[in-house]
A = this chain, B = another copy of it.
């Protein structure tokens, strides 16, 4: 392979997974550890989308014509009830695939939390590439499986945990997520507001704020400046109560 080709590949890779400077060789996103041939094929069908904070990548009810991967920044994925109540299903970070769960219409909205970029793929075209690369199909199933495991944890939290347990568990999960992304994990900077956290945890923003205050008071976390949080994992683990009996 010549130098120009290799350079083009690296551009494509960096479009699909933003070089964050902290990432090592961990598996992130669709491209990691895939053959150049695959990268090239993907590059011919993808389009880069740039998002400002608060703008929607996809909207609930729209025709589900595309799949995406988030390549930088963060986003929230949420559903809305007829009367306006909203539930954030999950937060998305670099490397996350967007499109699971969609049949003909998107059953959720995805909205950027910060400035973010995404790769957009025509559904049929990506399916075509997947057929040509069964390894990718396998990995995508793995990602779906992981998302299911995450969803299970979250259902447990929403159905059975107290407000304090939910917040403690959330902070630890988020920290672990940041660590895997190669970003600062403790202290870490929250990319979302109290309201977002509340809508994710099935609480109100007031309750979340109160729990943060309580956790600070008992020394399980400390906050600031800005949205920085420092975790005392020991105490948070004791509060959370995760795990089998």
A residues bordering B, Cβ < 8 Å?
A: 60-61, 79-87, 89, 100-103, 107-108, 130-131, 134, 137-138, 140-141, 144-149, 151-156, 158-161, 199, 201-202, 241-245
Inter-subunit contact B82/A152 (CB<8 Å): no
If A137-B134, A202-B159 touch, does A152 touch B80 (CB 8 Å cutoff)? no
Task: Please name all residues of chain B whose beta carbon is closer than 8 Å to the beta carbon of A101 when the two chains form the complex.
Answer: 145-146, 148-149, 151-152
Contact of A148 among B84, B131, B147 (CB under 8 A): B147
Alpha-carbon distance between A83 and B1 when the two chains are bound, in angstroms: 58
Task: Please name all residues of chain B whose beta carbon is closer than 8 Å to the beta carbon of A102 when the two chains form the complex.
Answer: 145, 149
Chain B: CB-nearest residue to A127: B138
Inter-subunit contact B202/A245 (CB<8 Å): no
Inter-subunit contact B108/A245 (CB<8 Å): no
Q: How far is the CB of A92 from chain B (nearest CB, A)?
A: 13
Task: Please name all residues of chain B whose beta carbon is closer than 8 Å to the beta carbon of A80 when the two chains form the complex.
Answer: 244-245
Contact of A103 among B100, B149, B199, B241 (CB under 8 A): B149
If A60-B244, A148-B144 touch, does A160 touch B86 (CB 8 Å cutoff)? yes
Task: Please name all residues of chain B whose beta carbon is closer than 8 Å to the beta carbon of A85 when the two chains form the complex.
Answer: 160
A-B contact pairs, 7 of them (CB 8 A): A81-B156, A89-B155, A100-B145, A103-B149, A140-B141, A148-B148, A159-B201
Alpha-carbon distance between A102 and B152 when the two chains are bound, in angstroms: 11
Task: Please name all residues of chain B whose beta carbon is closer than 8 Å to the beta carbon of A244 when the two chains form the complex.
Answer: 60-61, 79-82
Inter-subunit contact A107/B152 (CB<8 Å): yes
